[in-house]
Structure 1
Amino acid sequence: MLRSPDVQISHVIVCDPNTSALTIPITINTKDKSIETTALIDCGAEGTFIHKELVKQHQLPTYVLNRPIIARNVDNTINKEGVITRYTKLNLGLNTTDERLLITNTGKSPIILGLPWLKQVNPQIDWANGSIELPEHVLRSLAISKVTFATTLAQNVKDNEPHTILPEYRDFKDVFDKAQTNQLPPSRSYDHAIELKSDFVPKNCKVYPLTLKEEEALDIFLQENLGKGFIRPSTSPQASPFFFVGKKDGTLRPIQDYRLLNEATIKNTYPLPLVSDLLDQIKGYRFFTKLDLRNGYNNIRIKDGDQWKAAFKTARGLYEPMVMYFGLCNSPATFQAFMDDVFHEQKQKGGLLIYMDDLLIMGQTIEELQERTKEILQICRNHRLSIKIEKCVFHRQEVEYLGLIIKPNHIATDPTKLKGILEWPLPKKPKDIHRFLGFCGFYRKFIQGYSQITRPLEKLKQVKAVWE
């Protein structure tokens, strides 16, 4: 930006990313609207700032600074926005008058409350317990819930760092303990029954050859699952093949090939939730916690007397499962019915979504979310269900769930999930088109004119279509 040489320019540090900072949800009331957003409390910032896109989005009035300000980073380099020339006015809870917020690019934080604001508010911060207290008039003005900053700081924990239980949930340490899953789950009314058609005839199968690496993985699988009581030696006349498939991280996933057994199984028609129905329930909630159930299907036992039907053959012998595994055709229905029943009361109250082993807990305030989360954890304890802490996220205003990005009053597709569409191989036959459109169909509600866009591809599904 060009400026005349006689204009005085001051300098200001916008944000210090290395300081201990706290992101809090706030509501700012203007003359004609309420703006729900987040603010970064950062003692390394030498002012109060607002993102230029937030100003543009809500058409906030702007004013020209008498003296332009050079925005600098904490390392004294010039911020990519260069010179700040404009500001807006908002009430930030300090008094009855509006205050000045400098308009610039604030990165991922819509608003930054820097050292001047902190000096005036003088919040009480307890670093040992991870809590922050703001004056009551500030809480009321910005509609800030009384939350502990330990929960919001937890959002910034890197994936490779140890996962710790938040202070609010330390009474449920046993629910997050992996050790409790190293034993056979209790028998319940939802034990998985394998009901076979009347013309079923038991079938034998061959042993699949394994590589040396796969043989080592087989030995580990058998040792672990025999030790937990998840499988036992079998003399069943029915046998399904067993093999491994590679995962992206280089490890091996054990597979029981139950295709022939599934063809002879009477299907359970219990419905899985429609994702569109689940998303309709998110409206109005501002805070989210996502829990992931450890062991998934293995939390359900196979009905006593039906274990032989799911026997699988390995180079080390014939075994039958005591718990439900992934390949059985009715496993999803059994598991969803179990989860719906266990958490029925909480689902009726609202604020809880369940799709298989993924739980999304929602609240309009942090306090409501915390209480609801404690209720869910207590139910998990009562039913001996363990939560995988490393896959949980707590007290977020943005969370990934079922391949979507969930925010208050906003749902969007996860860009990382769209990578599969961008890298999809060129279709060579109608079946390839079927697969591609089946995958894309999940996102049709996010694409305006989806049916018009896909019409040429739909024509290629026809048998008479000409392929070059």
Structure 2
Amino acid sequence: MPECPIQLLGRDILCKLQAQITFLPGGHARLDLPESGSSTRQYSPASQHTQPVQIAVIMPREEEWRTAPTLLAAPDPYTLLLEIPGVWAEENPPRLAVNIPPVYVDLKPGATPVALRQYHIPQKAKQNIQTHLQRLKEYGILKFCVSPWNTPLLPVLKEGTQEYRPVQDLRAVNEATVTLHPVFPNPYNLLALIPGDTKYYTVLDLKDAFFCIRLAPASQPLFAFQWEESTTGARHQMTWTRLPQGFKNSPTIFGCALSQDLLSFNAQPDKVVLLQYVDDLLLASPTEKDCLSATKALLHLLCQAGYRVSKKKAQICKQSVKYLGFQLTGTKRALGAERKEAVCRIPQPKTRRQVREFLGAAGFCRLWIPNFADIAKPLHQ
């Protein structure tokens, strides 16, 4: 209270009251206050005749909040997870999955090398791509080579930016190699495994996941491409030492590899459930405490196994998250806005192939479309 002539706490008020505090054995304290005469009135918890000493404090209503007890803020999951800095992709270079052996790619019987010429790449896109390739070469993901195989690079503009990234056209390699049986779970069946008492989720997206898996030296020449330096015009071939993006078997190979490493995750089935769809992981738990504990354990496991997690895309211990195009809140599922927009932006199909592509995209939303099977049946025919 600014208008009060003395401090209401501490030595000033004790002097004004001529009070004396004496600390007694056993943790007790005695307060001595003078009465009207020369005698002293004593207040001690040990005395049977003790009367409580009351001090009234008058303050403006707008300052009453100062007397409220201070509440300890709940721990911030992101702050707690800073103790695992080595797992985040934005702050660390790509690593190798230490438990997974190099991958061999099998060719179909009678397959022969395919050499396709490199398409023309505009100078602006070439400069962006060269920076990207140089970074991958420094990490050991790319290397120089001489190979009878060659497939072209395509410049693809990153969404929302003016930068280009390289995408390799591996259709010829995909045609010449043996197709592995895909083991991806059905998203509907996967999400049906979420327990009914779930309230908290964690979603982790592994960054540059395929680059964690080593490619056997004997299989590396299959993925060679030609590159022309943007400054000198020098041409040479490069190839991948890791599992490349665009290869038809990469999702299957990586998904199986990660699944093997996750077998050692000691989640308590009655408290936490871990779900995996290729490189997207979901933890479901009934309590925030169990969810946070399981998240930290999972991040430690991923870090030790050699994987990197996108901190930008991580959703840590939230009651509502986005996963596989769905919005999960408790045990409720709703279509994410991105998924709806993607279907709505599909142009009207005019060919048989475009109809099949549209039905595939719309089929993802079939649970929210009444009589979807009856509506789509004529289109399938």
Q: CA RMSD in A?
A: 2.3
Cα deviation code 1:171-192 (max 9, x no counterpart): 212222645325x525643433
Change in CA separation of 1:228 and 1:212 when aligned onto 2, cut-off 3 Å: same
1:25-424 equivalent positions in 2, closer than 5 A: 124-126=70-72, 131=73, 147-148=74-75, 150-151=76-77, 166-176=78-88, 178-182=90-94, 185=96, 188-250=99-161, 251-283=163-195, 284-315=197-228, 316-346=235-265, 349=269, 351-424=273-346
More deviation, 329-338/408-417: 408-417
One-letter amino acid of the structure 2 residue matched with residue 221 of structure 1: H
SS, match of residue 418 in structure 1: helix
Cα pair 1:430 1:460 within 8 Å, conserved: no
Cα deviation code 1:258-304 (max 9, x no counterpart): 11111111111140121012111123211011112122211111123
Cα pair 2:132 2:165 within 8 Å, conserved: no
One-letter amino acid of the structure 2 residue matched with residue 303 of structure 1: A
- Pair 1:432-2:343 in alignment: no
Change in CA separation of 1:451 and 1:314 when aligned onto 2, cut-off 3 Å: same
Number of positions where the alignment pairs a residue of Structure 1 with one of Structure 2: 306
Cα pair 2:97 2:307 within 8 Å, conserved: no
SS, match of residue 389 in structure 1: coil
Inter-partner Cα distance in structure 2 for 1:432 and 1:197: 29
Change in CA separation of 1:396 and 1:323 when aligned onto 2, cut-off 3 Å: same
Cα deviation code 1:352-404 (max 9, x no counterpart): 11112211112110110011111101111211212211111112111010000
* TM-superposed deviation, 1:170: 2.3
Inter-partner Cα distance in structure 2 for 1:122 and 1:450: 57
Q: Structure 1: which 5+ residue stretches go unaligned?
A: 1-117, 132-146, 152-165, 463-468
* TM-superposed deviation, 1:461: 4.7
Cα pair 2:107 2:176 within 8 Å, conserved: yes
Inter-partner Cα distance in structure 2 for 1:356 and 1:123: 48
Cα deviation code 1:300-322 (max 9, x no counterpart): 11123211111112224211100
Cα pair 1:238 1:311 within 8 Å, conserved: yes
Cα pair 2:118 2:151 within 8 Å, conserved: no
Cα pair 2:142 2:238 within 8 Å, conserved: yes
Change in CA separation of 1:298 and 1:448 when aligned onto 2, cut-off 3 Å: same
- Matched residue, 1:3: none
TM-score by length of 2: 0.75
Inter-partner Cα distance in structure 2 for 1:461 and 1:373: 43
One-letter amino acid of the structure 2 residue matched with residue 243 of structure 1: L
Structure with the higher strand share, 1 or 2: 1
Inter-partner Cα distance in structure 2 for 1:296 and 1:396: 24
One-letter amino acid of the structure 1 residue matched with residue 242 of structure 2: V
One-letter amino acid of the structure 2 residue matched with residue 318 of structure 1: Q
Q: Structure 2: which 5+ residue stretches go unaligned?
A: 1-63, 229-234
Greater C-alpha Rg: 2
Inter-partner Cα distance in structure 2 for 1:460 and 1:450: 11
Cα pair 2:99 2:305 within 8 Å, conserved: no
Cα pair 1:270 1:337 within 8 Å, conserved: no
Change in CA separation of 1:460 and 1:271 when aligned onto 2, cut-off 3 Å: closer
SS, match of residue 426 in structure 1: coil
* TM-superposed deviation, 1:423: 2.9
- Identify the structure with bigger relative contact order (alpha carbons < 8 Å, sequence gap 6+): 2
One-letter amino acid of the structure 2 residue matched with residue 225 of structure 1: L
Cα pair 1:208 1:314 within 8 Å, conserved: no
SS, match of residue 416 in structure 1: helix
Cα deviation code 1:98-157 (max 9, x no counterpart): xxxxxxxxxxxxxxxxxxxx98x966434xxxx2xxxxxxxxxxxxxxx43x34xxxxxx
Cα deviation code 1:15-74 (max 9, x no counterpart): xxxxxxxxxxxxxxxxxxxxxxxxxxxxxxxxxxxxxxxxxxxxxxxxxxxxxxxxxxxx
Following TM superposition, the consecutive aligned residue runs of length 4 or more in structure 1 with deviations greater than 4 angstroms are none
SS, match of residue 100 in structure 2: coil
